Chain A
């Protein structure tokens, strides 16, 4: 990584003289201002001053950020422990001028009202026309980032694009067995059964794993095939929102029906026997070994497995539309969420609050947004017909998203509005074909639950009840799927148990917080 940033730094210096950028209309301060920053997020554990993107931003705005990150774990590819890093920062008593992180929302919404972070509502209204303009078009998102006192304490990372996960199937197996693409849940079941019993991988063993998943809650999501609901947002087991009412999939009739059928599927071997323990390598292992038949997973990364056609004769793994439920409804429960709990905030000791909010606003200008999404013009992309198009050598230099993180673009610890065009340019044909297919069905996606901010009393109720209830729900859920209990027989007792654990009170505070936040 060190070598890479050196190269990046060298490249940046060569292009620093670029005249296009120097007209000064984005300049916030004539005298350069130095601000300290803690930046630690899922994509990169630290802030680097020599990122080309940052050098350009510094040139344009006159704001110079100085890395002051504590608790960064530089050793792992997947930088875990961001929340711990935030807590460490807070416990050390030193809050930098800017704090950017994954999962910052609950953190700033808890400690902001206590005085650790600067409230942003007035600052945005007075000094951040671009952020204000964005919120004017999306009042639901503005509501979603607010704390219980009605203040915003962070500027979020706003993902773009619609589809996240999709249903995937081995289309070459379908062809081999003379089957059509499944359109309904009955057909899907028949296909999975054929995968199990008719030996599509041709090794003479019934070792095919018809449905598998890297994250076991994806199997629970299959209840949507029977009109149930599972995960109300891109957080597993989350609450859901339906016509302004908070609810939860795991107490619904469709869920009961779905679990009953999933238990049957599991019993018949249509679902991976090791679904709960196989873990994150499931997709990699089962596809590479020519065993896996179908899954529900991300467009971008899953489509990449078609490279296996080099090793496995005829291998083709394609997205197909969510099968229709018995009532004829097709839904794709997962979508790219509209607003992430990631982004950045202003620490209470910041002496340049106005300049900082203007700096945040810079990333919502046209130039700033392009910089945050595509990197530096002339270095990583060129403007062709008014569009940012990545340079071929940049696309060829390895995984594009990884390269972008390493030049300081697409950072979750920065509040910015993603531009999905950045991803389309390097999505492979299978992903694009799948997205086009999903786009033919306008009603596939359903609204996400964007979260609520509790006041202190509501928080107490939530803390007391939800953890215990969730544990109980998951415990029963797994047992039913595994056949250690019968959902039909247990259902009334299950509901009664959840009620006795304080369900009505919990839903009550969720609803009151929701009404306050989103205006009932």
Chain B
């Protein structure tokens, strides 16, 4: 605050300015300490689980031995990266990751938005709540159970899907061993599992739209369809864009436990993603350094993607994460 009572403006020294700023900062913390206390657990979580492990990333450039430790292992430069990129199956895994993520984005991203818009149009309160609960449920089931359900549903002998195909006079298909079926099943399972839960954030955004906009639209004679297109969607567009940027940042993180549970050597061709490749080649055989190199590569790709998406979004819609 500028002191307005003193008539001749004092020439402040740098020293005084500094003390002033310090006092103000201290004052601020004294006043708002509860808020910082609430922030603390998150900061600790970030430091312990995200920043501290970054120290270990250096093993991507080392011939790492657990016994010698991170410090004691010799540097070997980019050898692990050369190994990775000389490996056809790693390249294939990168390609599969991007393809699966692209499908996830293409079909999986709009799903919760559409679902939220549909929920918003339901007027019957009990029906709405029941329907919401039902679509949220799969999110809380563990991947192992989900995989069990999927394997049973797509079983060639007792599965629901093949039973229906049988009624239609078609031959049964052993879906989970056919490379061309893996991605549709995987992406579909993901949508079934997460679309409901993902719609919550969009429902919250819709709830925040100013009701007077709808009232005036009604006065102007707009129908529900027009209100959705002209009011709801433009109003929640910032939320959609933020969610999209976050989603793009996770492009390399295909939910690999579900892939591991559902894939087979017969479907590696379309199913093997970077994380499952790392699991098989790196962790199962104890090559942590190679696994770290692949993980670092993943992180760099994700970083570039999220930066690009953020910049594009800021330029074209003035909505961005930072």
Residue positions of A touching B, CB distance < 8 A: 83, 87, 90-91, 93, 106, 110-111, 114-116, 207, 273-274, 276-277, 463-464, 467-468, 471-472, 474-475, 477-479, 482, 484, 501
Contacts and interface: CB of A to CB of B under 8 A. Distances in A.
Contacts of A273: 156-157, 174
B67 A482 contact: no
B68 interface: yes
Contacts of A467: 280-281, 285
Interface stretch (B26-34, B39-47, B81-89, B100-108): B81-89
A274 B156 contact: yes
B32 to A, nearest CB: 40
Interface in B50-88: 65-69, 83, 87-88
Nearest to B87: A468
Given A467-B281, A478-B264, A277 B67 contact: no
A471 B174 CA distance: 21
Contacts of B68: 114
A154 to B, nearest CB: 15
8 contacts: A110-B286, A111-B67, A273-B156, A274-B157, A471-B265, A474-B268, A475-B269, A484-B177
Contacts of B155: 274, 277
B266 interface: yes
B239 interface: no
A464 B264 contact: no
Contact of B177 (A472, A482, A501): A482
B157 A478 contact: no
Closest CB pairs A-B (n = 9): A474-B265, A478-B266, A467-B281, A116-B67, A90-B66, A111-B67, A475-B265, A273-B156, A468-B89
Contact of A482 (B157, B266, B269, B281): B266
Contact of B266 (A106, A116, A276): A276
A93 B280 CA distance: 26
B52 to A, nearest CB: 14
A90 B264 contact: no
Contacts of A83: 286
A111 B89 contact: no
Nearest to A468: B89
B264 A276 contact: yes
B157 A111 contact: no
A175 to B, nearest CB: 27
A276 B182 CA distance: 14
Contact of A111 (B65, B269, B290): B65
Interface of B: 65-69, 83, 87-89, 151, 155-157, 174, 176-179, 264-266, 268-269, 272, 280-281, 285-287, 290
Given A87-B66, A115-B67, A482-B177, A471 B280 contact: yes
B197 to A, nearest CB: 27
A269 to B, nearest CB: 10
A478 B280 contact: no
A207 B179 CA distance: 27
A111 B264 contact: no
A206 B141 CA distance: 35
Contacts of A464: 83, 87
A1 B134 CA distance: 40
Given A115-B67, A277-B155, A471 B268 contact: yes
A472 B89 contact: yes
A463 B287 contact: yes
A8 B290 CA distance: 46
A277 B281 contact: no
Nearest to A272: B157
Contacts of B179: 484
A223 to B, nearest CB: 16
B60 to A, nearest CB: 15
A215 to B, nearest CB: 13
A478 B151 CA distance: 17
Given A467-B280, A471-B268, A484 B67 contact: no
Nearest to A216: B264
Contacts of A463: 285, 287, 290
Contacts of B272: 471
Given A111-B65, A463-B287, 8 more contacts: A106-B286, A273-B156, A274-B155, A276-B264, A471-B268, A471-B280, A475-B265, A478-B264
B313 to A, nearest CB: 39
A478 B266 CA distance: 5
Contact of B174 (A91, A111, A474, A482): A482
A479 B266 contact: yes
Contacts of B269: 475
Nearest to A89: B66
Contacts of B266: 276, 475, 478-479, 482, 484
Contacts of A477: 265
A483 to B, nearest CB: 10
